[in-house]
Chain A
Amino acid sequence: MSDEGQLSSWRFDPVQGQYVPTDTRRPRGTGEISAIDQFRSKTILLLGGTGFVGKVLLAMMLDRFPELRHLIIQVRPKKNVSGEQRFLNEILKSPPLQAIVERIGVDSIRHRTSIVEGDLSAPMCGIRAEQLAALTDTVDVVINSAGLVEFDPPLNESLITNVYGIQNLIELVQVLDAKLVHISTCYVGGKKSGRIPEDTPIVGYYPGREGPEDRRFDVTRELEWCEQFIGETEDKILLRDGGMERAEHWGWINTYTYAKSMGEQLIARTEGLKYCIVRPAIVESSLAFPFPGWNEGMTTSAPLVLMGGEGVKAWPVRKDGSLEIIPVDLIAAGILIATAAVLADRGETVYHLATAADNPIMLPRLVGFLGTNSRYKHKHKTSGNKLANVWKAYVETEVVSVSQLAASRKRVRWGLDLIQATFNFLKVILGSRIMNSYLRNLRITRRQLRQQEQTLDKFLPFMVHNSFIFETGNIRRAYNLLTPKDQERLQWTPEDIDWADYWVNIHTKGIERWIRPMFAKQMKALEQSINIPVS
């Protein structure tokens, strides 16, 4: 519980794994930066306010900073739906904003905000000339949280938003004569283990780089290569595979981080641009704001939690590794701290927003949590195969090595082949009317297993191949420069996250509530797509 009141004599220290007296004093901010003053006197342009992070960021600005001078939100219009309509009907009615709307009212929000239509992938981010003229000399800082967060999209799709979009963004920021806060990802560091610093030079970076003299990677040359590849390749799957191969060739873990790193490099090499790059780790359900457990979309660790809930028992993770996850409300607070620092001309180039440096959650513990969730779900489940439910409820999850996992997959496949052969034999004897439903179920099971395997494989770089600890000294220093009043509104306290409470009571329940229905729909569509003709 985050808010325990003064009556509590104890608070749980998740790092030490024990209760400590609540009267332990924390250092207060020095007050060298006042976020309240900065936001009172400056105008902010937000790009990507419709995304998972963007919505929470927007909600936090509106809720925590009534002094905010003006916030301009760029919204991409959809077919027959204007940006303004999307803002009113989609964004303000979304769960994270709804609570804020109820608290402060639509009028108060409208008074402090305005909407511009646009699209990151168009020149000047799609902002019309007359609107652009109105924004020039008005906007002080642009916060960009727009981006494609899919790990392995076709290369061309990833570049449109995460690289070419950044070129458009840079042009816009230069025309507006504003500062830039760009949201990237910690994983631009690539395949590496150990502590990842924040001061590695950005331009010319690739994960295998041997030093500043190593100039093998150049973003202009790399984009030429990409354009040639995209021009020669039409097939979506080849574009997907090609992107992943190219990313791995340089040492990135996937197309997403490869493209994000190129986007960063475009920003960093622009002369005269005042900017900071905020790099979140794996963004997860909210800890407390706007309410505990808010989550959106099938991204980050949601597929893993859903798989755990489905009863997956063998998890290939490093026993000595931690998973760099961070609640979305800490990300929103971190972005606003960095923005205040940039506005006050005290910004650093890079801010890692991560937890493992202060309060790591070790992977074997997460495997245990996935097990207790499966236990609860299947123990109280009234539908489905009873025997399977018992197995999923009472067999404990376990940490396995990659080779053990491969062997177990082989055994499962062999078993399913045997069952299929038996069913096919019985089909000849008993007829297809009886056996078709069994064969259909078997095919669904096979496809579900294949999907699980693919999902798990995507996460192997985070759970097995590398063990990242992102250094977070810059955001900690910026937080310490805030005024105590700012610190009440923007808390950067990853050391306080009680991972057991967070994972079991907040994150898992958030995913079950907000993501599971979407996942169930996908599963149903998958089942409906499988038909076995009666022959």
Chain B
Amino acid sequence: MPRILSARTGPRRTGYALVLGLVTTCAYYARNDRFVFKSINQFVKVLTSVPLFLGLDLYSPTLCNMFFFRAYRGMHRDRLVGLADDLFEVTLKPSIYTHSEALVRQTRKLGYRTVLVTGALDFTVRPIALHLGVDDVICNRLEFKKHIATGRVLAPLVAETAKATIIMAYAELENLDLNACCAFSDSTSDIPMLTATGNPVATNPTRRLRRFAKGKQWPIISLSGSDQADDFNPFPPFLGSGPQAMEATQTPI
């Protein structure tokens, strides 16, 4: 079972993708409350807040995050934990890239410790971490009082750039050499984290990150499976590539 660490990182995505991803998750919890009227009330509140979140996200993703988690206020932790597996099956599992598991397997096979660094909440991340088979998770946690969410996130609320600080602290604690580590991300907000490791990899990158990665000569990979362009490569060169590497990851460790 992966360890879930409470140090917080910035969101993995930026812009609309971040907002819509968070809204989908929260909306799921809101519309699945134990009590019908509470459920309707919470769901409507989440939906009507979307324009505000979009506007805030353009101004400051951190501020958007802070405001966004207020939508969880009043929800019981038992319910959030109890529904996490269903949320995973319904919403999250279908959006996991085809080759993600193979990538995790390959890195573990080569002796890497895999750490999932995400701005999502602990109970939401748990099934993803188990599905992918990662070793550790660094994620957000909601604040609760008597098992009821207050709508705040536990400090320290880390902005995008803080992800680098977090993994540095993690590496120091676990006695890891960051130069020997690799980092995967799709977003420009994760550039500080990517830069902090010796082997950054742009993974299904946004246009801006692709441009940046090309400039830095970072490997660019696609895990979506649908990307069959000439430069398609499921893994970066240092992990092995091409069909042999893919075959090697077919059997779970």
A residues apposed to B, CB below 8 Å: 1, 3-12, 16-19, 22, 292, 365, 368-369, 371-373, 375-376, 379-380, 396, 500-501, 504-505
Contacts and interface: CB of A to CB of B under 8 A. Distances in A.
B101 interface: no
Nearest to B136: A5
A186 B212 CA distance: 66
A504 B82 contact: yes
Contacts of B83: 372, 375
Nearest to B170: A7
B113 to A, nearest CB: 12
Given A17-B144, A17-B147, A18-B145, A376 B85 contact: yes
Contacts of B143: 18-19
Given A9-B156, A17-B147, A500-B78, A4 B86 contact: no
A216 B67 CA distance: 68
A473 B214 CA distance: 65
B134 to A, nearest CB: 13
Interface in B63-88: 76-79, 81-86
Contacts of A505: 81, 126
Interface of B: 1, 3-7, 34, 76-79, 81-86, 89, 126, 136, 138, 141, 143-148, 154-156, 169-170, 173-174
The interface centre, meaning the residue of B1, B141, B173 with most chain A CB atoms within 10 A of its CB, is: B1
A379 B146 contact: no
Contact of A504 (B3, B7, B81, B148): B81
Contacts of A379: 86
A10 B8 CA distance: 11
Given A369-B78, A372-B83, A500-B81, A7 B7 contact: yes
A500 B123 CA distance: 11
Given A5-B136, A19-B154, A376-B89, 7 more contacts: A5-B3, A7-B170, A7-B173, A9-B156, A11-B6, A19-B144, A396-B34
Contacts of A4: 3-6
Contacts of A368: 34, 76, 78-79, 82
Contacts of A9: 6-7, 154-156
Contacts of B3: 1, 3-5
Contacts of B82: 368-369, 371-373, 500, 504
B126 A7 contact: no
A395 to B, nearest CB: 11
Contacts of B155: 9
B1 A292 contact: yes
The interface centre, meaning the residue of B78, B86, B174 with most chain A CB atoms within 10 A of its CB, is: B78
B141 A7 contact: no
Contacts of B1: 1, 292
A375 B33 CA distance: 12
Nearest to A397: B34
Contacts of A17: 77, 144-148
Contacts of B86: 372, 375-376, 379-380
A313 to B, nearest CB: 12
Contacts of A500: 77-78, 81-82, 147
SS class of chain B's interface: helix, strand, loop or mixed? mixed
19 contacts: A1-B1, A1-B4, A4-B4, A7-B7, A7-B170, A9-B6, A9-B7, A12-B144, A18-B144, A22-B6, A368-B82, A371-B34, A375-B83, A376-B86, A376-B89, A500-B77, A500-B82, A504-B81, A504-B82
B89 A8 contact: no
Contacts of B144: 12, 17-19
A13 B97 CA distance: 35
B145 A5 contact: no
Nearest to A398: B34
Contacts of A3: 3
A414 B136 CA distance: 55
The interface centre, meaning the residue of A11, A12, A380, A505 with most chain B CB atoms within 10 A of its CB, is: A505
Contacts, number: 90
Contacts of A375: 83, 86
Contacts of A504: 78, 81-82, 84-85
A420 B87 CA distance: 40
A116 B6 CA distance: 49
A365 B3 CA distance: 25
Contacts of B85: 376, 504
Nearest to B122: A1
Nearest to A16: B146
Nearest to A369: B82
B34 A10 contact: no
A8 B6 contact: yes
Nearest to A499: B78
A467 B136 CA distance: 40
Nearest to B137: A1
Contacts of B147: 17-18, 500
Contact of B5 (A5, A12, A365, A369): A5
Given A18-B143, A19-B143, A376-B86, A10 B6 contact: yes
A404 to B, nearest CB: 18
Nearest to B144: A18
A41 B42 CA distance: 62
B77 A10 contact: no
A7 B169 CA distance: 8
A453 B170 CA distance: 53
A500 B148 CA distance: 13
Given A16-B146, A379-B86, A505-B126, A7 B138 contact: yes
Nearest to A508: B82
Contacts of A10: 6, 141, 154
A235 to B, nearest CB: 45
Contacts of B89: 376, 380
A4 B147 CA distance: 20
A7 B174 CA distance: 9
Nearest to A18: B144
A248 B83 CA distance: 41
A372 B76 CA distance: 13
A505 B85 CA distance: 9
Contacts of B154: 9-10, 19
A501 B145 contact: no
A49 B192 CA distance: 55
B65 to A, nearest CB: 17
B129 to A, nearest CB: 10
A164 B126 CA distance: 49
Q: Nearest 5 CB-CB pairs, A to B?
A: A372-B82, A17-B147, A500-B81, A17-B146, A8-B6
A372 B79 contact: yes
Nearest to A7: B5
Contacts of A6: 173
The interface centre, meaning the residue of B5, B141, B145 with most chain A CB atoms within 10 A of its CB, is: B5
A396 B156 CA distance: 37
Contacts of A16: 146
B126 A8 contact: no
B81 A501 contact: yes
Contacts of B141: 10, 19
